[in-house]
Structure 1
Amino acid sequence: MTVKHLAHRGYAAVVAVAAATAVLLPATSAEASGGKLTHQQAAAKLRSAGVSWTSSGHCSDRNRKTCTSFSQINSGTVDGIIAFKRASGCRITITGGTETGHAGGRYSHWNGYKVDITPTTCVTRYIKRHYDYIGRRGDGAPMYRTPAGNVYANEGNHWDITYK
C-alpha cells in the first residue's frame, strides 16, 4: 500500500512518522558532498547568498596556491557555508577553496570538501557557542563539530572547515 493510500484510510500518524523518519536518516558522504561545481557555478551561488571571497593573488586558478578557486568544489560544501552564514548571521569571507597548496587527504580542499574563512569575532563566537569542542588536531588547532558532523578547526588566521 502506498503512503497516499495509508493517508486516505486515516493512518495520518503512520504517514507523519514515515515522513519524519525519512528526513532524519543521515546522508552518506557521497550524498552529503553533492556534485562537483565549476568555479563560475560556485561563485554565482555564493554571491547570491551574500558570501564573499578574497584571493592574495587576485585570481581563481586552481593550480596556483595564491589564488582562491572553487573549481571542483562539492555542492554540499557551498551549501554548507551558505547555511552557516544564514544560521550565524555573520559576514563570511572565504580565503581558501580548492586551489593547490593545502594539505591532502580524502576530505581535502583539493577534493572539494573544505573552505577557509576569515575568523571574525562573530564567526568565532558562533562556532564556540553552538558546536561541540572535540579536542585539538595534530597541528594543535582546536576543533569543533556540528551536529551534522562537519568540523571547524581554528588555525589562528582562518577557520578551516570540512563539510562531509
Structure 2
Amino acid sequence: MVYTSKDFADTCLRGNVSALANSPLWQPRYGSGTREPAPVGGRYWSIWQYTENGSVPGLRGKADVNVYKGTLTQLRALAHLSPGQTPTGPGAGTSTPATGNGTGTGARAGAGTGASAPATAVWPLLKNGARGVNVTTAQHLLAAAGQSVTADGIYGPNTQNATIAFQRSHGLTADGIIGPKTWNKLINGAKSAPTTPAPTTPAPSNGRLTQRQALAQLAAAGIKAPVGRTSLGGVRARTIQGVIALKKASGGCTIVITGGTESGHSTRGNHSHANGYKLDLRTRDEGRCVTNWIKTTQRKGAPRGNDARWHGTLAGISAEYVYEVPGSGGVHWDITFV
C-alpha cells in the first residue's frame, strides 16, 4: 500500500505513476469529511484519511481517522486475518489494517485491494432505522457520489432521500433501501473512471494545460473535442479533471463542451472562463442526460440572477452548475470547477 497524494504524484513524480500501479492507495484529504481525494493517475483510493481531528476510544487527544473502500471482510483479508482471528499488533504473526493513528470508520469499494480481497462480497441490507459502521460506509459513498448527506452512522430520512436520488440517477429501483445492486453502483460508479495517461509534457506549475494536453486527457476519458470555435488553451488542469469526474459520476453521460477559454465570455471575477475555471456544456439532445443528473443529484442553491444554480463535489473538486439562459438564446450549463 502506498500513502500519497495527487499533488505529490503530479509534482514529485511528474505525473508518472506507473510504479504505483500494483499498490492500493492510501490518500489524505482533510476538511468536511465529504470531499474525497482526487484520483492519482486515474486510480481512486482504497483508504481515505479524511480527518486529523478525530476522537478514538482509548486514545488521548486527536487522531487521524480513515475510511476503507471495501467490506469488513475484505479489510480483514487485506490484513491477512483468518475468520475469527483478532489483530494483535505488529510483530505478533499478523498484520493490522493500515489506518494511521485511528481506526477505519467505514467501508468502500473492494476493487483496488488487490488479490487478497475475497471473490464475493457480502453486502449488508440498509434501510430507514439502521445504525452503525455499515451506515457510515454508505453515507461516505453517497457523499462522494455528490449527495448531500452527513456520515453520522444513522440511516434516517436524509440518508434515505439521498439514496433515492442516487438510485434514480443510476436507473435503479428508487426504494431508498441499499441492497446489493445499489452497493454495486456506489462502488463501481466511484471506481470506474478511465485511466488518464500523463501528458507527454508536464502541466505548468500554475496548473494550466495547453490545448493539446487538455484534448488528450478528454479523449482518454471518452469525451469528444469541443464543438465550434471553443478553445481549451490555458484551461486549468483541475477543470478538466472536474469534467472527467462529471462524466464518471453521471454514469457515462455524453459530455459536449461548447465553451472554454476563448474570448467572448465575461471576464468578471477570478473564476472566469478566461482564467480557465469554467466550461459550458450543451443541454439539448445528448446533453439531457447531464441535465437530469445535475437536477436530481446535486444540491440546489440560490439562483445566480435569474438563472437556477446547483452545487456539488466531484472527486474532491467543488462544482457550481448554473443553468444559464442568455437573453440572446443558447441555453447551456455554465459550470465552475474550483
TM-score of Structure 1 vs Structure 2, range by shorter chain = 0.7 to 0.9
CA distance 1:129–1:100, change in 2 (3 Å): same
Summarize the alignment of residues 10-159 of structure 1 with structure 2, pairs less than 5 Å apart.
12=97, 15=100, 17=102, 35-56=207-228, 67-88=229-250, 89-104=252-267, 105-119=269-283, 120-138=287-305, 140-147=306-313, 148-156=317-325, 157-159=331-333
Please state how far the C-alpha of 1:36 moved relative to its aligned partner: 0.6
Please state how far the C-alpha of 1:12 moved relative to its aligned partner: 4.8
Greater share of helix residues, 1 or 2? 1
Please state how far the C-alpha of 1:8 moved relative to its aligned partner: 4.0
Please state how far the C-alpha of 1:115 moved relative to its aligned partner: 0.3
CA distance 1:16–1:144, change in 2 (3 Å): farther
Please state how far the C-alpha of 1:55 moved relative to its aligned partner: 3.5
State the TM-score, normalized to the length of structure 1.
0.73
Query: Percent identity over the alignment?
Result: 38
Q: Which runs of 5+ in 1 are unaligned?
A: 25-33, 57-66
Partner Cα separation in structure 2 for residue 133 and residue 162 of structure 1: 15
Larger radius of gyration between Structure 1 and Structure 2: 2
Give the corresponding residue for 2:148: none
Query: 3-state DSSP class of the match of 1:81?
Result: helix
Partner Cα separation in structure 2 for residue 151 and residue 107 of structure 1: 11
The residue identity in structure 1 corresponding to 2:337 is Y
Please state how far the C-alpha of 1:14 moved relative to its aligned partner: 5.2
Partner Cα separation in structure 2 for residue 11 and residue 49 of structure 1: 36
The residue identity in structure 2 corresponding to 1:49 is A
- Give the CA RMSD over aligned residues: 2.6
Aligned length: 136
Please state how far the C-alpha of 1:19 moved relative to its aligned partner: 8.7
Partner Cα separation in structure 2 for residue 90 and residue 14 of structure 1: 35
Q: Which runs of 5+ in 2 are unaligned?
A: 4-88, 106-139, 141-205, 326-330
Contact 2:227 2:256 in 1 (8 A): no
Partner Cα separation in structure 2 for residue 75 and residue 124 of structure 1: 23
Give the corresponding residue for 1:60: none
CA distance 1:15–1:163, change in 2 (3 Å): same
Contact 1:52 1:92 in 2 (8 A): yes
Q: Which whole-Å deviations, capped at 9, do the CAs of 1:95-146 have from their partners, x for residues lacking one?
A: 00111111112000110101000112211110011111102102x1100000
Partner Cα separation in structure 2 for residue 43 and residue 152 of structure 1: 22
State the TM-score, normalized to the length of structure 2.
0.37
CA distance 1:19–1:75, change in 2 (3 Å): farther
Contact 1:69 1:97 in 2 (8 A): yes
